[in-house]
Amino acid sequence: MLVLTRKSGQSIHLGDGIVLTVQRVSGDSVRIGIEAPQSVQIRRGEVVEAMAAAAGHDEALLRDAVMLLAEQQQAQPAEPLGD
């Protein structure tokens, strides 16, 4: 991880077309402006973590549902196929 020190009004350029600018520093809070192409997704860290947790939860729910359906199908006798 690269760690840089910036003052209010100073910026950091990331590749082509992404600029981070320190807008304001107040106590332990920093306001950052981000300029980036619309194709670049920008999310706060806690949002990404929540999305990952939700995806894991959804995956577990889906796995449980599939297992329950499989158990129910095994418990039911097979119906004869009609003509």
Round to whole Å and give the CA distance between 52 and 62: 15
The answer to the question of residue 82 being in a domain is no
Count of domains for the chain = 1
Tokens matching residue 79: 């119906």
The answer to the question of residue 83 being in a domain is no
pLDDT of residue 79: 62
The answer to the question of residue 5 being in a domain is no
pLDDT of residue 34: 96
pLDDT of residue 81: 62
Per-residue confidence in pLDDT tens, the chain, 83 aa? 999 999 999 999 999 899 999 999 999 999 999 999 999 989 888 888 888 888 777 777 777 777 777 777 777 666 666 65
The answer to the question of residue 49 being in a domain is yes
The answer to the question of residue 18 being in a domain is yes
DSSP 28: T
CA distances from 19 to 7, 11, 62, 77 (A): 15, 7, 40, 64
pLDDT of residue 6: 94
pLDDT of residue 55: 78
